[in-house]
Amino acid sequence: MTTIEEIKEAVAQLSSDDLAVFRTWFAEFDWQVWDEQLERDVASGRLDILADEALQDFSQGRTNPL
């Protein structure tokens, strides 16, 4: 049995209350991983082209107010 299969089986055995706690923990964990990846992408310049395009669109009036 793989680790993923073991995790799936363990999650399936959780009580409703424990599943709610796990779900909250996992959502926070997942967001933290995503935030860290975004920070690495920003620091490395991987998103610079997107920022440049957005600023160019804004300066040329190709945006709409939120």
**Tens of pLDDT, residues 7-58:** 999 999 999 999 999 999 999 999 999 999 999 999 999 999 999 999 999 9
Q: Is 9 within a domain? A: no
Q: Is 11 within a domain? A: no
| Per-residue confidence (pLDDT) for residue 14, from 0 to 100 | 98
Range of the domain at 56: 16-66
Q: Based on the structure, what is the number of domains in the chain?
A: 1
Q: Is 66 within a domain? A: yes
| Per-residue confidence (pLDDT) for residue 30, from 0 to 100 | 98
| Per-residue confidence (pLDDT) for residue 1, from 0 to 100 | 74
Q: Is 7 within a domain? A: no
Instruction: Write out the H or E segment, with its range, that includes residue 41.
Output: helix 16-44
- Whole-angstrom distance, CA of residue 28 vs CA of residue 20: 12
Q: Is 52 within a domain? A: yes
Q: Is 36 within a domain? A: yes
Contact yes or no for 15/23 (Cβ under 8 A): no
